[in-house]
Amino acid sequence: MRNALVLLFLGLAALSTTADAARAKPACVPVIRGAWVRMTPVMPIGAGYFTIENPCAMPVTLSGASSARFSDVSMHETRLENGISRMLPLASQTVAPGQRIEFRPGGRHLMLAMPREGSAVPTTHLRIDLRLADGRVLPVDFELRRAAP
C-alpha cells in the first residue's frame, strides 16, 4: 500500500511538472518584417508600413498601435471607391495561420499624427508598439525613410 501511495505521489508530481512546463511555454508570436515610416516634409504626419506574418497555429488579430513620439497612431486602409481614393479607418486586421499581410503605400498603413512635444529629435528609427487583440504588445523599430524602398 505504501509503495502504491509513493507511486501515486510521484505520478501526480510528474503531471504537475508537465502542466507547469506547458503553461510556461511562450505563446507563438507573429513576425514583423520590413518596418519603415515615411514622414511628410510639410505636415508632421507619417505613414508606417510593414509585413506581418503569422507562423502560429491560431489566427492573430492586430488591434492597434501606439508610439511614445505620437499622440495618435491609427490603422487605415486606402480604397478606391467609385473612382475616388478614400482613406478609411481599419479597426483591426486578422492574420490567419500561415498568412502574410502587407501594410504598404496605397493600401493598409499606420497613420502617425500629432507628434508629442520634443519628439522632433533627429533619428533614423522610430519605435511603434503593435497591439494584438489578446493583449500582447509587439515592440517594433521602424526605419525612418524619405521615400519608398
Cβ–Cβ < 8 Å for 97, 58: yes
Q: Residue 33: what pLDDT? A: 98
Q: Which pLDDT belongs to residue 57?
A: 96
> Which residue is it, cell 489578446?
134
Which one is predicted more confidently, 83 or 9?
A: 83
Helix (H) or strand (E) holding 19: helix 2-24
Q: Per the confidence metrics, is the pTM higher than 0.95?
A: no
Instruction: Report pLDDT for 74.
Output: 97
Instruction: Tell me the per-residue pLDDT of 42-67, one tens digit each, with 9 for 90 and over.
Output: 677 899 999 999 999 999 999 999 99
Q: Which helix (H) or strand (E) holds 15?
A: helix 2-24
Q: Is the model more confident about 122 or about 95?
A: 95
